[in-house]
Amino acid sequence: MIEILSIILSILSLVIFLNFPLNFYYFKKQYLNLKLGYADSLLLNLIIVINLFLLFSFFKVNLNYLFLIATTLSLSLIIINYKNFLFLLKKNISISLVFFVFIYSMSSVIAKTSFLEWDGLGHWIFKAQVYFQGGEYKDLKNVPQNYYPHLGSYIWAFFWKNSYLQYEYFGRIFFIFIFVTSIFSLISKLSNKFSLTEKLLVLFIIGFLSINFYLFGGYQEYLIFFSFFCYSYFKLYFSENIYLFKKSFIPEFLIILILNILLWTKQEGFFYFILLSFVFLLHGKRNSIQKFLFFSVSLSFLLIFVFIKIYYFGYLSFNEKIINNEILNNLNLFHLFEKIFLITKYFLISFIKYPIWMVIILSFFILRYKSDFLNLNKFFYTFLFLSFSLVFAVFLHTTINLEFLVPITLNRIVFAISGFYIILVVAALNSIKK
Amino acid sequence: MNKKNIIDKVYLIIFLIFIFYTFGAFENTYIILKNNYESRVLKSSGYCEKQGYGFIKKIFDTFKDVKQNLTVYNNSGFPSAMGYFYDFRQNYEVNYLILLNFEENNLAEFTKKNFSKIYQEGQCYLLKKND
């Protein structure tokens, strides 16, 4: 019974914890014109908190104290506004209950076996152990695959350490939390022509079709999924409210924070960072000063990443050397087409494996022919082209046997990218309901 | 409370039960209540088979001079469960190693490297470097 109560306590403490640093009501008072809902404030807090985690991960910081300070501050802000929060809870009791039951039910799946999958046990948990035991960034030197980014493992360790029973899987509930929060934030994007029951049903279907419990077994894909989701979610919000942010630097600031999460989560995040920076520069509809600032800060973040890697580990390393013999081998057209065929085949298999992609593809067609949504938001096309090109480039460039590599990695990449496009499902539904 | 409100609440309860049922949360809760964390990890990660959680744990519990970080070779196609026990404050153990799911005749490779078997359970072994 204690374990069940601990799971419930962990979920509740996550909700409390993530009312900080931007308290919804304080935030609403200050920035009433920004038209942001409670779910938006949760997403914003997640983005800020994850970046703060990254900052703290380079220093020796007691995770319990950190949790205590943040939770106390968050609780104080909630208590100050308790009447408003109670009103909000009362008004949205159905959504809150479904949200909670969704997270609990998913958490029960990972708690049942407490099983860690390949990469989770192979190397991600070692990094989490370092932080759980009070280590700091330099202590990652001796763990397997030490050159892999560490942000996901730090977060895992943080919530593992700050759970009542301190079982490893409590840290992974955070990944469930960010996934469910992302999906539930879509409720405010659904047209008011949908009843609450319809909205909840849509969220359930989107969530259910996007879940892969295998990836909660210590993988980092849900953090990448979350970052992609936030990027398209807020990019769309900035495009729809362009007049509000004409002279502001908030879009630049927020997009960079989102990209920074990608950069420090997985190796491919380095390339996603570059692609998505390019997408923002191309489609951000910003003036030249804003573009220059965005470019300079993005470049600085990339350089800081490279500098930190070189400072601590002596090198910046990826799984593959950037220049290798396979580039020359690709000049053999038969070899090249054989590889392209294989990659395409597994792309199609991945789309079937993750049924949410079927819904996304259908939404693409609906939006293409029923509304001008995609014409107004061309960044969806650009990222589709760039991200899929990146996947092909990476696999065409690798020296590892593709027959082995593609089946075990491509589906995870395809899953993560779906985070970027899930919002299209909502847009398509809205266009149907018009 | 009007009729519509009652119907809405009934729908909500059915929906919540449906979510519970879809994710198997009733059964999962029962399993969590019935089996403690250690036994669930042992069941999913295996004793000597799969990730060898049980065997590795037994080695650390029984052989107190074996340091927490040691090399484990797992022949089962799974990673080893070492990650559960890793302690970054300790050095890597060079005098011992664990083999999981190895046929006895495959040990020759390690005996050549001056290791000898000091403990065995099924196809899992603790090897020690000869002095």
Residue of B nearest to A207 (CA): B19
The DSSP bridge partners found for residue A357 are: none
- What is the dihedral sign for C-alpha A9, A10, A12, A16? positive
- Specify the DSSP element, H or E, that contains A282: helix A269-283
Q: Please tell me which residue of chain B has the smallest CA distance to A204.
A: B19
Distances, alpha carbon A25 to alpha carbons A150, A182, A183, in Å: 33, 20, 22
**CA–CA separation, A294 vs A411, rounded Å?**
32
Mutate to test the interface with B, among A11, A112, A137, A173 (most CBs of B within 10 A): A112
Phi, psi of A242 (to 5 degrees): -60, -35
Backbone dihedral angles phi then psi of residue B74, each to the nearest 5 degrees: -115, 120
Q: Does the pLDDT value for residue B1 go beyond 70? A: no
**pLDDT band at residue A32 under the 50/70/90 scheme:** low
pLDDT at residue A22 greater than cutoff 90:
no
pLDDT of residue B39: 94
CA pair distance B131, B126, nearest whole angstrom:
16
According to the model, what pLDDT value does residue A37 have?
Answer: 81
By the 8 A CB rule, do A270 and A303 touch?
Answer: no
Residue A143, pLDDT above cutoff 70: yes
**Amino acid B114: pLDDT:** 87
The C-alpha atoms of residue A346 and residue A114 are separated, in whole angstroms, by: 29
| C-alpha pair distances (Å), A293 with each of A100, A290, A434, B30 | 40, 5, 39, 55
Distance CA A348, CA A365 (A): 17
The strand ranges marked E within A294-333 are none
Interface test with B, best of A7, A91, A105 (most B CBs within 10 A): A105
Contact B23 A142 (CB under 8 A): no
Q: What is the pLDDT of residue A403?
A: 82
Q: What is the mean pLDDT of residues B37-54?
A: 93
CB-CB under 8 Å, A168 with B51: no
CB-based contacts of B32: which residues, under 8 Å, 6+ apart?
Answer: A3, A4, A108, A111, A112, B40
pLDDT over threshold 70, residue A309: yes
Alpha carbon distance A86, A83 (integer Å): 5
More confident residue, A105 or A39: A105
Chain B residues with beta carbon closer than 8 angstroms to that of A170: none
Q: What are phi and psi of B117, to 5 degrees?
A: -75, 130
pLDDT at A107 over 70: yes
Chain A: residue nearest B82 by CA?
A121
Q: What is the mean pLDDT of residues A378-406?
A: 89
Q: How far is B2 from chain A (nearest CA, A)?
A: 17
Closest CA to A261 of A273, A251, A250, A252: A273
First CA to last CA distance, chain B: 82
Residues of chain A positioned with their CB less than 8 A from the CB of B89: 133, 135
CA geometry: angle A169, A113, A223, nearest 5 deg: 40
Instruction: Give percent helix, percent strand, percent coil of chain A, each to the nearest 5.
Output: 80, 0, 20
Give per-residue pLDDT as tens, A333-346.
Answer: 887 888 899 999 98
Phi-psi region of B101 (alpha: psi -120 to 50; beta: other; left: phi over 0): left
From chain B, the residues in CB contact with A105 under 8 A are 19-20, 22-23, 25, 28
Q: Token pair for residue B82?
A: 């070492």
| pLDDT per residue as tens digits for the range B18-43 | 999 999 999 999 999 999 999 999 99
Please check whether residue A131 is in contact with residue A171, taking contact to mean a CB–CB distance below 8 angstroms: no
Of A169 and B110, more confident: A169
Q: How far apart, in whole angstroms, are the C-alpha atoms of residue A418 and residue A412?
A: 10
Residue A115 near residue B32, CB atoms below 8 Å:
no
* pLDDT greater than 80 at residue A434: no
- Give the pLDDT confidence score for residue A150 in this predicted structure: 94
Q: Cα separation of B37 and B32, whole Å?
A: 8
- The pairing of strands B115-121 and B92-100 is unpaired
State pLDDT tens for residues A220-240: 999 999 999 999 999 999 998
**What mean pLDDT, rounded, does chain A reach?**
90
Which chain A residue is nearest to residue B5, measuring alpha carbons? A94
In B, residues 97-126, which contact A (CB 8 Å cutoff)? none
Phi/psi at A51 (5° precision): -70, -35
Q: Cα angle at A332 between A328 and A337, to 5 degrees?
A: 115
**What is the end-to-end Cα distance of chain A in Å, rounded?**
48
Q: Are A64 and A134 in contact (CB under 8 A)?
A: no
For residues A77 and A82, give the distance between their C-alpha atoms in angstroms, rounded to a whole number. Answer: 8
Provide the pairing of β-strand B115-121 with B124-129. Answer: antiparallel
The least confident of A106-120, A354-368, A394-408, A413-427 is A394-408
> B111 vs chain A: nearest CA distance in angstroms?
26
Over 70: is that where the pLDDT of A31 sits? no
CA distance B98 to chain A (A): 16
Q: How confident is the model over A93-102, as pLDDT tens digits?
A: 989 999 999 9
Residues in B touching A118 (Cβ below 8 Å) = 78-79
Residue among A137, A1, A125, A133 at smallest CA distance from A63: A133
Mean pLDDT of the region A280-284: 93
What is the mean pLDDT of the segment spanning A31-45?
81
Q: What secondary structure letter does DSSP report for A264?
A: T
Tens digits of residue pLDDT in A77-92: 888 888 888 888 888 8
What is the rounded average pLDDT of the residues A120-126? 93
| Tokens 């074996």, located at residue | B66
What confidence score (pLDDT) does residue A30 get?
67
Whether A121 sits inside 8 A of B20 (CB atoms) is no
- Three-class SS state of B41: helix
Confidence of residue A108 (pLDDT cuts 50, 70, 90): very high
ipTM, two decimals, is: 0.92
The pLDDT assigned to A428 comes to 95
The SS3 call for residue A190 is coil
In three-state secondary structure terms, B77 is: coil
- Provide the Cα torsion A44, A213, A417, A102; round to 10°: -40
Nearest to A7 by CA among A128, A94, A113, A105: A105
Instruction: Find, in chain B, the residue whose alpha carbon is nearest to that of A105.
Output: B25
Of B22, B51, B79, which has the smallest distance from its Cβ to A208's Cβ? Answer: B22
Instruction: Give B-chain residues touching A106 at CB under 8 angstroms.
Output: 23
Which residue in A has a C-alpha nearest to residue B35's C-alpha? A112
Please count the CA atoms within 13 angstroms of the CA of A69 that sit on its side-chain side.
8
Tokens of A279: 């997408």
From chain B, pick out residues whose CB is under 8 angstroms from the CB of A114. 37, 40-41, 44
For residues A242-270, give the mean pLDDT: 92
- Report the C-alpha gap between A87 and A277 in whole angstroms: 40
Burial class (CB within 10 angstroms; exposed 0-12, middle 13-18, buried 19+) of A401: exposed
A27, pLDDT greater than 80? no
- Residue A21, preceding bond cis, omega within 30 degrees? yes
CA-to-CA distance for A343 and A391, rounded, in angstroms? 9
Is residue B129 helix, strand or coil?
Answer: strand
Answer yes or no: are the C-beta atoms of A208 and B22 closer than 8 Å: yes
Q: Is the dihedral of CA A164, A165, A171, A176 positive or negative?
A: negative
The pLDDT value recorded for residue A226 is 96
